[in-house]
Amino acid sequence: MTFLELKDLRIHFPTDDGLVKSVDGLSFTLERGKTLGIVGESGSGKSVTSLGVLGLHKGGRAKISGEIWLDGEELVGASAEHVRKLRGKKMAMIFQDPLSAMHPYYTVGNQIIEAYRIHHDVSKKVARKHAIDMLARVGIPQPDRRVDSYPHEFSGGMRQRAMIAMALCCDPELLIADEPTTALDVTVQAQILDLMRDLQRDFNAALIIITHDLGVVAELSDDILVMYGGKCIEYGSAEDIFERPEHPYTWGLLGSMPRLDREPTERLLPIKGSPPSLINVPSGCAFHPRCPYAERTAGRSETEVPELLETAGGHRVRCHLPGERRRAIWEKEVMPNLEGTS
Amino acid sequence: MSRASEPLLSVQGLEKHFPVTKGLLKRQVGAVRAVDGIGFDVVKGETLGLVGESGCGKTTTGRLITRLIEPTGGKIVFDGRDITHMSQGRLRPLRRDMQMIFQDPYSSLNPRHTVGAIVGAPYRIQGIKTEHGVKRAVQEILELVGLNPEHYNRYPHEFSGGQRQRIGIARTLALKPKLIIADEPVSALDVSIQAQVVNLLEDLQSELDLTYVVIAHDLSVVRHISDRVAVMYLGKIVEMADRTDLYGSPMHPYTNALLSAVPIPDVRRRSERERIRLQGDVPSPLNPPPACRFHTRCWKAQEICRKVEPPLTALAPGHQVACHFPENLSGDAPPAPAAGQEKEPGTISPVS
Ligand SMILES: Nc1ncnc2c1ncn2[C@@H]1O[C@H](COP(=O)(O)OP(=O)(O)O)[C@@H](O)[C@H]1O
Ligand SMILES: Nc1ncnc2c1ncn2[C@@H]1O[C@H](COP(=O)(O)OP(=O)(O)O)[C@@H](O)[C@H]1O
Ligand code: SF4
Ligand code: SF4
Ligand SMILES: [Mg+2]
Ligand SMILES: [Mg+2]
């Protein structure tokens, strides 16, 4: 049985300006012990997706349809109460800003103790011991003292570790990390990514890492889902996405990014224009106003929404260009320009 | 880039110590040594990149150079004139020549002013005559930075983040500056927009003969845009070199650690990459560690590092380093950034 499966998930928000189609037909699967990276620019629907999986849109104004299967249970139709019980125990989340997830007036220890005791019938003393163990596990020095510190007494990196400890305290099977290192310095980011890699291996959890940083997903992911305008536009193994990407938007992301592991290029190759509004998503392929290849599809890019189709062994692409054309463009027109010059 | 020519900007022993006061009488009890004796030259037409973790003093350096804050020590020479303590009145004509671009394009734009008013403001403030009127001049600049000149009457909120950064850039260009200090100019932008703005900055540099100091924490962006790079740690420059030397054979342990921490989108080599992992965070600049400030996090630290401050010294042509035990001294092979790096045992951890 697949551990996590999303089937045609849609999360739309009615607003005064119109319907915001934040997530618009998203499907993927994820097994225990595996890491899925979700990348895309801001506003592409990454955070709304993760909140949706955790059931945090329930009771709000969001219109949700589709299915979310977690370990044999369907969550879209489940009661808010039931999903709340799964949260913390079965699935947990790490946010970009730990302060938003922590209470400023309670010690870090008390917050972990509370979270643990919601799901475990143990004494305060046992829970405190567990909290100290968790803080030690995520690399917080002197955990038996720091357990009594308040969140603001921690540095940014230490706070992020404490939040990871909080998320992991009930041994969740699904962990969603939404931009977990975006606010951190590169040295601290590297520490946190190492930590997440180790923990995931030890806990055998399914991990979803959401970020706008292609380097970060490349470090951790088995599979990668590229989002644009609320839809998955390309999905594949990390090798598929970085070595044989087939979607013009993925090419654009790769061309925009200066890379330390290659000789410097003369110029970056940006994508023209900016990401779409999710109220007035462009017709046809949402990427068409920015796509340099739209004119090669005989008008279909502007009028027809392309389907997400498998191109080879689990690698799926949402584009009207035929597979051979895409592979030829990547090899002859795109890839050579990404290589350094000097 | 003309290396032989006079520097446009020369900074020597620059210092900014923010006083820390206590009590009603505001008795000074200490100082944040945000910038603590740094020096560098920037030659006309060149781009100097300034990198380092947050809190290392990069922004303060930018604000000192543009004289938004008063230095507590050292010297700033701009275009042949000592501006270190020049009065605001005498600085005014020089302000045209020296402009700053900020990270957050939105907070630096007045939301109640039209784009025309924002970009045109420098003309009015500086009382500059334009050949065909301010409007025409502003529209030309909007066009130059890739904005639609017809959007002259629109307000900042009607633009996307990338377009707002273009408005910010347009405003700095209005007075035809010689030097632009850009503080994290692209870090708030999406990656595709980042690339647009980086290219724009490069195009403007060659078209308008600009000189840049680019402050950023993103080491990949800095390598792409800079001719030379200075690495700061706790208010000091610890290494400065041509970008090829700095990224190809970094000598300071801190630089090595920074570069090794950058995530690399190379999935085939991710398992074989060996990394240096720094422990903990940057110490407080209120009480920086004595002698070599990096010694509390450095895996090579010896007794001498805690006793004697290593001076910034040229160890190779154009390559200055402040370290008693530098890496990659001539003869060593430069490490490929993504490949395994040779380090003392116990300092590297292969990631599997
Ligand atoms: N509660 C909400 N009501 C209306 N629109 C929302 C709400 N939450 C998110 N959105 C919109 O949904 C889109 C996707 O947002 P988000 O998932 O946060 O993007 P990302 O995380 O990829 O940057 C954005 O256009 C955002 O403005
Ligand atoms: N006005 C100020 N008063 C006191 N301390 C300051 C002030 N501005 C900056 N600092 C301190 O100076 C140090 C350097 O800050 P900054 O130049 O902003 O670093 P960076 O830009 O490299 O992140 C930090 O410790 C910061 O807290
Ligand atoms: S469908 Fe058309 S517009 Fe969309 S990515 Fe493919 S070629 Fe570009
Ligand atoms: S001087 Fe010593 S402590 Fe400082 S960077 Fe060099 S080796 Fe490390
Ligand atoms: Mg988000
Ligand atoms: Mg700064």
Q: Are A194 and A148 members of one domain?
A: no
More confident residue, A31 or B30: A31
Q: Are A167 and A178 members of one domain?
A: no
Task: Report residues near ion ligand 5: CB below 5 Å.
Answer: A 46-47
Could you tell me if B348 lies within 8 Å of chain A, comparing CB atoms?
no
Q: Are A10 and A22 members of one domain?
A: yes
CA distance B75 to chain A (A): 30
The answer to whether residue B344 scores a pLDDT higher than 50 is no
Per the structure, the complete domain to which residue A194 belongs is given by 1-90+173-342
Q: Tell me, what's the pLDDT at B2?
A: 45
Q: Are A178 and A239 members of one domain?
A: yes
Instruction: Please judge whether A261 and B190 are an interchain contact, meaning their C-beta atoms are less than 8 angstroms apart.
Output: no
Q: Are A237 and A153 members of one domain?
A: no
pLDDT tens figures, B132-187? 888 888 998 898 888 888 888 999 888 888 888 889 888 888 888 999 999 999 98
Could you tell me if B248 lies within 8 Å of chain A, comparing CB atoms?
no
Other beta carbons within 10 angstroms of residue B169's beta carbon come to 25
Contacts of A268 in chain B (CB under 8 A): 195, 198-199, 224
- What interface predicted TM-score (ipTM) does this complex get? 0.91
Contacts of A222 in chain B (CB under 8 A): none
Please, what is the angle between helix B115-126 and helix B88-95, to 10°? Answer: 130
Q: Are A112 and A251 members of one domain?
A: no
Q: Are A117 and A255 members of one domain?
A: no
Could you tell me if A256 lies within 8 Å of chain B, comparing CB atoms?
yes
Q: Which of B160, B191, B204 to mutate to test the interface with A (most CBs of A within 10 A)?
A: B191
- Rg of chain B, C-alpha, whole Å: 22
Nearest atom of ligand 3 to the alpha carbon of A288: 3
Q: Are A220 and A241 members of one domain?
A: yes
Nearest CB among B260, B265, B270 relative to A214 is that of B265
What ligand has the least distance to the C-alpha of A57? Answer: 1
**Tokens 């979607």, residue located:** A247
Q: Are A162 and A306 members of one domain?
A: no
pLDDT tens figures, A186-209? 998 998 998 889 888 888 999 999
Could you tell me if A267 lies within 8 Å of chain B, comparing CB atoms?
yes
Evaluate whether residue A223 is within a structural domain: yes
Q: Tell me, what's the pLDDT at A202?
A: 87
The answer to whether residue B11 scores a pLDDT higher than 90 is yes
Evaluate whether residue A325 is within a structural domain: yes
A80 φ, ψ (degrees, to nearest 5): -60, -40
Q: Tell me, what's the pLDDT at B336?
A: 43
CA distance A64 to chain B (A): 28
Among B143, B188, B140, smallest CA distance to B162 is for B188
Q: Are A217 and A312 members of one domain?
A: yes
- In sequence order, what are the residues at sequence separation of 6 or more whose Cβ sits closer than 8 angstroms to the Cβ of residue B188? B103, B104, B105, B161, B165
pTM: 0.91
The answer to whether residue B44 scores a pLDDT higher than 80 is yes
- The domain boundary, picked from A171, A189, A211, lies at A171
Q: Tell me, what's the pLDDT at B96?
A: 87
Evaluate whether residue A98 is within a structural domain: no
Question: What are the structure tokens assigned to B47, written together?
Answer: 């781009």
Q: What is the DSSP letter of B267?
A: S
CATH of the domain at A63: 3.40.50.300
CA distance A217 to chain B (A): 8
- Backbone torsion region of residue A273, taken as left when φ is above 0, otherwise alpha when ψ lies between -120 and 50, otherwise beta: left
Distance CA A275, CA A168 (A): 34
The answer to whether residue B340 scores a pLDDT higher than 70 is no
The answer to whether residue B108 scores a pLDDT higher than 80 is no
Instruction: Please judge whether B261 and A190 are an interchain contact, meaning their C-beta atoms are less than 8 angstroms apart.
Output: yes
Contacts of A264 in chain B (CB under 8 A): 223-224, 243
Map out the domains of chain B with their CATH numbers: 7-233 (3.40.50.300), 251-321 (no CATH)
Q: Are A203 and A266 members of one domain?
A: yes
Amino acid type, B22: K
Question: What are the structure tokens assigned to A252, written together?
Answer: 């654009």
Nearest atom of ligand 3 to the alpha carbon of A233: 5
Instruction: Please judge whether B275 and A190 are an interchain contact, meaning their C-beta atoms are less than 8 angstroms apart.
Output: yes
More confident residue, A103 or B252: B252
Total domains present in chain A: 2
B100 φ, ψ (degrees, to nearest 5): -120, 140
Evaluate whether residue A99 is within a structural domain: no
CA distance A260 to chain B (A): 6
Q: Are A62 and A198 members of one domain?
A: yes
